[in-house]
Structure 1
Amino acid sequence: MDSRPDVLVIGGGATGAGIARDLALRGVDATLVDRDGLSAGTSGRSHGLLHSGARYAEADGPEARECLKENQILRRIAGACVRETRGLFVQLAGDDPAYFAAKRDACDDAGIPTEIVDADAVREAVPGLAADVERAMWVPDGVVSPSRLVAANAADARDHGAQIRTHAPVESMTREDGRIESVTLDGDADETVRPRYVVNATGPHAGRIADMAGVTVSMRPTRGVMVSVAYDGLEPVLNRCREPADGDIVVPHEGEVVLGTTSVTVDDPDDYERADWEVERTVEECAAMLPAVADADRVRTWWGVRPLYEPDEAARGGRGISRGFHLLDHDAEGLANCCSIVGGKLTTYRKMAEATADLVCDRLGVDADCATADRDLPGASEPDRLDAFVREFDGQGPTDADIVGR
């Protein structure tokens, strides 16, 4: 069976679902496909932080400002997909005070609101903090439920005419005269799609999908571990205020906290080592901020793979802290009807989708503006409805398994 949508979006994470939603709201006939359920990859395997931009402020001011803007948009449109917890950057004894000052100044430059509090005030706000906390800085971080967020985007796309095809892996592509002519789907779909345009939004798998299309996307995926432990009563996100390192973030959930993370390059985003040392180091380092997590019951452990773009990572060197995105138009490689969107982060998925949809609409001659920043996601104020979307699209990831369906 053949289908002929205007656009085929490959990849059912936040960015892919966001692109399908954006295109559908502009009246474009879109089909979204993923090889598993939605959120099965990077989006559903994060620590669930809704970034304020503070984490990137001193390394990439423009990206930090974009992060803050998207944070504010999601708070408006996403309802029960997010929790407004705030965040703390914590300086412990031995941490470089100059780094704390640089972080604060960079946040000021980026327009990120901050409030510095002394050791007594921060321990009063978070009683379980380590005794050697010297000071901390409040920032507008939050927590996001990626399973709900992705499913709500897919539901809005579907409600505006998009087809959502889960468990439909791409098996092959054919090219003709510098264009992708057809894409063969396997799994539950077992069909051939003949789109006018193809978007590769497959995160760390973008290189493999690009190879099928006869173009090149160089990725440097890295794995990171998350450990969820039983801990009740933590309200803000805790960030260790030091140079990026293993085990420097604690994200509050309901009756649990998620400890993260590591950064280890992998060759294959499907087949990589899950090393015990990563778990132990992450727990040990996070316990330096919140000592009780060292002996807390471990609820679940998972790894995620970051979709890092090789040229950007090579330019930065080492463990880069920026998470900007890159929209690659493959017309420059002789493939007129295909682009890839790589990099980025969950918090900025909507902006990534907007940039991609702008390019696609330009190529298709569609004159319609983005509406996703001003339109509430369906079910935003109804957690049960959001959770029904997650079930509909088989979209449950480990990040928010303690939240969805409670």
Structure 2
Amino acid sequence: MTLSTDVLVVGGGATGAGVARDLALRGVDVTLADRDGLGSGTSGRSHGLLHSGARYVPAEPEDARDCLAENRILRRIAGAAVRETGGLFVQLESDDPEYFERKRAACEDVGMDVEVLDGYEAREAVPDLAADVERALRVPDAVIYPSRLVAANAADAREQGADIRPHAPLEGLTVEDGRVVEARLGGAVDDIVEPEYVVNAAGAWVGRVADMAGLDVEMRPTRGVMVSVEYDGLGPVLNRCRAPDDGDIVVPHDTEAVLGTTSVPVSDPDDYERADWEVETTIEECAAMFPPAADAAVRRTWWGVRPLYAPDEDERGGRGISRGFFRLDHAADGVENCVSVVGGKLTTYRLMAESTADLVCDRLGVEADCETAERSLPGADDPERLDEFVAEFDGQGPTDADVVGAGR
């Protein structure tokens, strides 16, 4: 079957679903396609931290400002896709006190409400913190359940007329006279789509989609492990207050805590090693600030792949801590009706979608404002309804597998 659409969005993670929702709310006819269930790539395989931005200061203050603003928006619009927890950046005896002070000052500079706790106060907040915790910085981190978030965005897009197609892998693009004129979807769909515009939101697989259109988008993906362990009642997110490194985040769920993570380059986001040393290092490092992690029973382990943009990573030459995003308008590369959105993080998916939708609407001559910062997601206050969306779009990922379906 041959179908026509204003915009084909390739990739059904948070950014792709967010783009589909934003465009549909502006009256644009959208088709969203993903090769598997929605959120099956990076979005559904994260540690589920809704960043306050504190992780990115002082090195990346603009990224931190974006995180802080989007954190506040998602708390308003996402309901039961977000869990309010707060967060602590924990300084151990061996950690640099000057780094702590720089982070505190930088958080205040970007407008973040923070509070310094001494070691006693920090252990009052989290009794199982390590004995050598000297102080902690309280920040407005939270937890996000990505399966619910992605599915709710897709559901809202569909309510506005979008066509949502999981299990519809992109098999090819045809470019004629500098335009994508045809996209071939396989899997459960097996259709031809004739789009006016194409949004490549395929995460770590952006380069593969771009290659189908004769475009070169060089990605530098890295893998990271998450380990979910039995632990009942951890309150805030825990972050080690040091330069980002392996095993420096503990994210609370109801009866589990998710430990993360590592950062190891991969050449193929579908075929990479899952190394035991990553699990062992993550547990050991997290246990340095949160000792119960060392002996807690492991419930499940998974890896995610970060969609890092190679030119940015090469310029920085570091661990890949910068998680700003890039909107690549391929009109400059000879394909006038295609854009790729790369980089970024789960916390800023809505901002990435808004920026991308702004460009698409400009190219299509659509004059309509973005509504996604003010409009609540469907089912936001009804966990069971959110979980029905997850099931409908086959969107269950490992990050929140202990929560989704439990109706809480």
Q: TM-score range by the shorter chain?
A: over 0.9
3-state SS of paired residue (2:5): coil
Preserved contact between residue 250 and residue 286 of structure 2 (Cα < 8 Å): yes
Counterparts of 1:151 and 1:130, CA distance in 2: 38
State the match for 1:267 in structure 2.
267
Distance 2:67 2:147 in 1: 20
Write out aligned runs for 1:362-373 (5 A): 362-373=362-373
Residue 65 of structure 1: aligned partner: 65
How far is the alpha carbon of 1:321 from its aligned partner? 1.6
Contact 1:59 1:321 in 2 (8 A): no
Give the alignment of 1:190-209 within 5 angstroms.
190-209=190-209
List, as ranges, runs of 4+ consecutive aligned residues in structure 1 with deviation greater than 2 Å: none
Shift of 1:364: 0.3
For residues 321 and 219 of structure 1, what CA distance do their matches in structure 2 show? 15
Do the aligned residues in 1 keep the contact of 2:80 with 2:381 (CA within 8 Å)? Answer: yes
Matched residue SS, 1:351: helix
1:95 and 1:252 mapped to 2: Cα distance?
23
Alignment partner, residue 238 of structure 1: 238
Letter in 2 for 1:195: P
Which amino acid counterpart does residue 269 of structure 1 have in structure 2? P
Q: Which residue of 1 aligns with 2:124?
A: 124
Cα pair 2:308 2:320 within 8 Å, conserved = no
Give, in angstroms, the shift of residue 322 of structure 1.
1.6
Alignment deviations for residues 97-116 of structure 1 (CA, whole Å, 9 cap, x no partner): 01001111110111111100
TM-score normalized with structure 1 length: 1.00
1:340 aligns with 340
Give the corresponding residue for 1:42. Answer: 42
Partner of 2:325: 325
Q: Which amino acid aligns with 2:13?
A: G
Measured after TM superposition, the shift of residue 320 of structure 1 is 3.0
Per-residue deviation at 1:293?
A: 1.1
Residue 396 of structure 1 corresponds to 396
Residue 114 (structure 1) aligned with residue 114 (structure 2): yes
Amino acid of the residue matched to residue 353 of structure 2? Answer: A
Q: Does 1:185 align with 2:176?
A: no
Q: Which amino acid aligns with 1:203?
A: G
Which structure 2 segments of 5+ residues have no match?
none
Q: Could you give the per-residue CA deviations for residues 15-73 of structure 1, whole angstroms, max 9, x where no partner exists? A: 00000000000000000000000010000000000000000011111110111000000
Aligned to 1:313, the other structure's residue is in SS state: helix
Report if aligned partners of 1:11, 1:34 keep a CA contact under 8 Å in 2. yes
The equivalences for 1:376-395 within 5 A come to: 376-395=376-395
- Give the residue type in structure 1 aligned to 2:172: S
Cα deviation 1:170-210 (Å, max 9, x = unaligned): 01111110000100011001010000000000000000000
Tell me the TM-score normalised to structure 2 length. 0.99
CA contact (8 A) 1:327 1:342 kept: yes
Q: What letter is aligned with 1:38?
A: L
Partner SS for 1:267: coil
* Distance in 2 separating the partners of 1:157 and 1:274: 35
Structure 1 counterpart of 2:208, one-letter code: R
Measure, in 1, the Cα distance between the counterparts of 2:322 and 2:245: 14
- The alpha-carbon deviation at position 254 of structure 1 amounts to 1.2
Instruction: Write the mapping of 1:250-265 to structure 2, written as runs, cut at 5 A.
Output: 250-265=250-265
For residues 208-248 of structure 1, what are the alpha-carbon distances to aligned partners after superposition, in whole Å with 9 as ceiling and x for unaligned?
Answer: 00000111111000000000000011010000000111000
Aligned equivalents of 2:150 and 2:269: distance in 1?
Answer: 21
1:160 maps to 160
State the partner residue of 2:220. 220
C-alpha distance in 1, partners of 2:245/2:347?
21
Distance 2:275 2:91 in 1: 28
Matched to 1:130, the amino acid is A
Any idea what SS the aligned residue of 1:4 has?
A: strand
Deviations 1:308-360 (A, max 9, x none): 00011111112132210000000001100000000000000000000000000
Partner of 2:135: 135
Structure 1 regions of 5+ residues with no counterpart?
Answer: none
Q: Percent identity?
A: 72
Question: Within 1, Cα distance between the matches of 2:370 and 2:292?
Answer: 46
Distance 1:305 1:162 in 2: 28
